[in-house]
Amino acid sequence: GPTPVSALIHAATMVTAGVYMVVRCHPLFEQSPSALTWVAWIGILTALFAATMALVQKDFKRILAYSTISQLGYMFLAAGAGAYAAGMFHLTTHAFFKALLFLCAGSVIHALAGEQDIFRMGGLRKKMPWTFATFLVGVLALSGVPPLSGFFSKDEILYNDFARGAVIPWLIGIITAALTAFYSFRLFFVAFFGKSRLDKKVEKQVHESSWVMLVPMLILALLAALSGVLGLPGFLRLGNAIDEFLHPVFANSLVVPPAEEGAAIEGGLMGLSILVVAVGFFAAYWIYIRNWGLAARMTKGAQWLYDLVYNKYYVDEGYMEAIVKPLRALADLLNTVIEERTIDAAVNGLARLLGLAGDGLRRLQSGLVRHY
């Protein structure tokens, strides 16, 4: 789709509607002892599942799209843990930095005459400095680098899960955070650093986008960098602004808030989050900056695994074989046997019968005396 549309639906309007629905309908989910648990587990497994797929994609926008799926998993993890405000907080910050990333993608694609394969880019930071700078802000926010917005919202989700005793979902969330940093900086390094791998004709025409495109990116970069303060305790002496704002909605929630873990534990969890982001960053730097070609060699060593992940675990193909084709076969059967040969045949047969009867009776009223 057009990049501004991608920025809109991936950031704020369409894909996040499910998160809003679950959070808004929390009284219904809380009536079941297992419903929220299912929501949390589906959320965190989705986050991990989509993050692994983003690791190997080559299409600029497709990497960001799988990133959106992964971040939605974090939001559902928060909703399933009863940390509704944390989920909405991440939804808000994600809207800023993901819209920014998609608009930056559009800027790059526009400058490269429609090219979207990141391995046919390279060295764009010198040719597109404003897009490079704003994209860096978006990548840092998505990866959860402090003090940008993504760090505060994602860290609050992970902290709430740990404090509620959901250690395994928390651990999966930490692993996913490392993968997020890796695929984000992989995209950043491959597209903007290294030698140019552009087509020679395209390379001559590469240019920075106009201010019509850059101004929205700069505004979103500012929001992506600073919106984390909404979740800072003590912000303007109002406490957590998101929690305060949403408190009337969740005042009657049946989910018991987690006990205070203490500053030491909270600081330790925060430090661990920063550490895994650093691991993802240095892994991407080592593979795609210091040792270009290492990724290709690693791929050849486990080609089956690469093909499995690159093809999205063949989910689409499995869905086609297990659901779409059987349903189409059933529809064809119902259409030919039930619809045409049974229902239509009965209706048409009745019509023909009445037609024959009419032809017979018509002879009694021909109007010709000799027939009488």
What torsion, rounded to 10 degrees, do the Cα atoms 282, 288, 292, 293 define? 110
**Position 353, amino acid:** L
Task: Provide the pLDDT for residue 237.
Answer: 42
Give 324: exposed, middle or buried? Use CB within 10 Å, 0-12, 13-18, 19+.
exposed
pLDDT of residue 368: 78
Task: Please list the rounded mean pLDDT of every run of 10 residues in the chain (372 residues).
Answer: 82 85 92 91 96 94 94 95 91 93 93 90 91 95 91 90 89 96 95 88 86 93 87 51 83 76 77 94 94 87 90 93 96 91 91 91 80 72
Measure the CA–CA gap between 213 and 297, rounded to whole angstroms: 38
Q: Which residue has the tokens 């059987």?
A: 326
pLDDT the model gives residue 328: 96
What are 350's two structure tokens?
């009745």
Cα(203)–Cα(197) distance, integer angstroms: 9
Q: What is the pLDDT of residue 262?
A: 64
Q: How far apart are CA 287 and CA 64, in angstroms?
A: 20
DSSP states of 85-131 as a string?
HHHHHHHHHHHHHHHHHHHHHHHHHHHTTT--BGGG---HHHH-HHH
Please report, as a single letter, which amino acid is at residue 56: V
For residues 268 and 170, the answer to whether their CB atoms sit within 8 Å is: no
pLDDT at 238: 42
